Amino acid sequence: MDTLVRATALSRQFGQHSALSDVELCLERGQVLGLLGANGAGKTTCLRLLSGLLAPTAGRIEILGIDLVRQPLAAKRHLGYLPERPPLYPELRVDEYLTYCARLQRLPRRAIAEAVATAKQRCGLDEHGRRLIATLSRGYRQRLGLAQAILHRPAVLILDEPTEGLDPVQMRELRGLIRELAQDAGIILSSHLLPEVQAVCDRVMILHQGRVRLDAAIQTSRPTNRWRVQLGEPLAVEALKLLAPVAEAQALGSNRFQIELCEGTNSADLARALLLAELDLCELAPERSDLERTFFDLIGAEEQHG
């Protein structure tokens, strides 16, 4: 596969504080990598390092084999970056701003009009070319921020919290756009939203206190049929396993269980079986996704109740 980004032993310190330590990162063409982590985990620092806005204290970053520190101009030509706050000029119109960004990216003069039109069309800004940026809503500003990042069709797209400020419809559109862009580019995005990362990313990297705690592929399209059950009184887990819809059961406490249902059955079947067995059903809830569980396990914030 075509390696677009390779970060080796990447570290960054702010004074005595170590924001990022020994991060190894590799991004292939066609891949969407999600950076997950709590506030202060080092996500934004990592993205700022990869976009060339910060210099690493130690380590090396290569963009398409070009050293980002030694040859920043050549490497930055292949990068598109959407920071947490879109870098906009409120006094400019949308078209003026995108044209300016295209020139900054050193696009050939002849290609600028077409690049601006394509970026606007992809981000749903067709009708807003003449509008002043100051008058755009937060969602449209975010779209414009994305438009400036994809304007020059970069090989590597770095998006810091791209769905911030978007409504649910826009978020769904953005997911589609990210998948579309990933066909001929590599994308790194950070987010607090686990379902979003699960929906759009091929790989996830979980950062905690500046260190990579997990770097793994996301197993997609595996329907979860796992439920969490709380009964009115304590029960042996073996008794639950005897119920027809239950494929596997695991005790989480004396009256709390995690149950994997047989194929073709659903929560209604489980509830019916529990009531027929004359058990008091206090709670029946879908188990959290694998990613969510992994995330909380890794950052050590697993809730002790519920």
**Based on CB atoms, which residue is closest to another protein, 14 or 234?**
14
Least Å from the CB of residue 93 to another protein: 10
Q: How far apart are CA 143 and CA 302, in angstroms?
A: 35
CB of 296 to another protein, least distance (A): 31
Q: Residues, the chain, total?
A: 306
Q: In the complex, what is the shortest distance from the CB of residue 73 to another protein, in angstroms, rounded to a whole number? A: 4
Closer Cβ to another protein, 132 or 281, answer by number: 132
Q: How far is the CB of 84 from another protein (least distance, A)?
A: 8
Find the shortest distance in angstroms from Cβ 52 to another protein.
6
SS3 label, residue 118: helix
Residues forming contacts to another protein in the complex (CB under 8 A) are 14, 51-55, 72-74, 76-77, 79, 81, 83-89, 91-92, 96, 100-101, 103-106, 148
Please state, in angstroms and rounded to a whole number, the distance separating the CA atoms of residues 65 and 233.
Answer: 62
Q: Of the candidates 181, 174, 214, which has an alpha carbon nearest to the alpha carbon of residue 36?
A: 214
Q: Which residues contact 36 (CB under 8 A, 6 or more apart)?
A: 43, 190, 191, 192, 194, 197, 204, 205, 206, 207, 295
User: Nearer to another protein by C-beta: 97 or 257?
Assistant: 97
Sign of CA dihedral 129, 130, 134, 140: negative
Nearer to another protein, 31 or 148 (CB): 148
What is the end-to-end Cα distance of the chain in Å, rounded? Answer: 44
Nearer to another protein by C-beta: 81 or 295? Answer: 81
